[in-house]
Amino acid sequence: MKPRRLDRMQEIIKNEVASALVTGSDESLKMVNIFDVEVTNDMKYARIYYSIIGDADQAKIQEKLERLGRKLQGEISRKHRFRITPRFMFIYNDSLDRGFKVIELLKKISSSEEEAEDGHADTEE
């Protein structure tokens, strides 16, 4: 069972990182969606899971996030008075991309089934 302070720390990190991305000056980082943060039990690492909306270069985004993460780590530590602040590890999750691909495939299947039904109905008349 996770201690409440880990849950609280995860929520703070998620909100602070997401806020920094939205309010920052880098337009490419505004297309990054932070959807989960996991802090290890020893509080040494925070895995920050993100996805990218649009077709930005994932490698460049990763590099920018790592630079921003080092800066944010100190800011969050001072602002929230964390005795120990975990090291941020940004992990790309392509589940949104895969979800969009599945939706597109389902649309294609649905439209081809409708075409087949329409063609079958025309031959019966």
Do 17 and 76 have their domain in common?
yes
Do 50 and 24 have their domain in common?
yes
**By the 8 A CB rule, do 43 and 86 touch?**
yes
**By the 8 A CB rule, do 76 and 14 touch?**
no
Q: What CATH code is carried by the domain that includes residue 49?
A: 3.30.300.20
Per-residue pLDDT of the chain (125 residues; tens, 9 = 90+): 468 888 999 999 999 999 999 998 888 899 899 999 999 999 999 999 999 887 788 899 999 999 999 999 999 999 998 888 899 999 998 876 777 788 888 888 888 877 777 766 555 55
Do 60 and 106 have their domain in common?
no
**By the 8 A CB rule, do 96 and 33 touch?**
yes
Do 20 and 62 have their domain in common?
yes
**By the 8 A CB rule, do 50 and 32 touch?**
yes
Query: What pTM does this model have?
Result: 0.75
- Could you give the 3-state DSSP secondary structure of residue 86? coil
Do 86 and 120 have their domain in common?
no
Provide the residue range defining the domain that includes 87. Answer: 4-93
Do 42 and 83 have their domain in common?
yes
Do 27 and 61 have their domain in common?
yes
Do 86 and 29 have their domain in common?
yes
Do 49 and 76 have their domain in common?
yes
Do 8 and 58 have their domain in common?
yes
pLDDT reported for residue 2: 62
How many domains would you assign to the chain?
2
- Pairing mode of beta strands 87-92, 32-39: unpaired
pLDDT reported for residue 119: 67
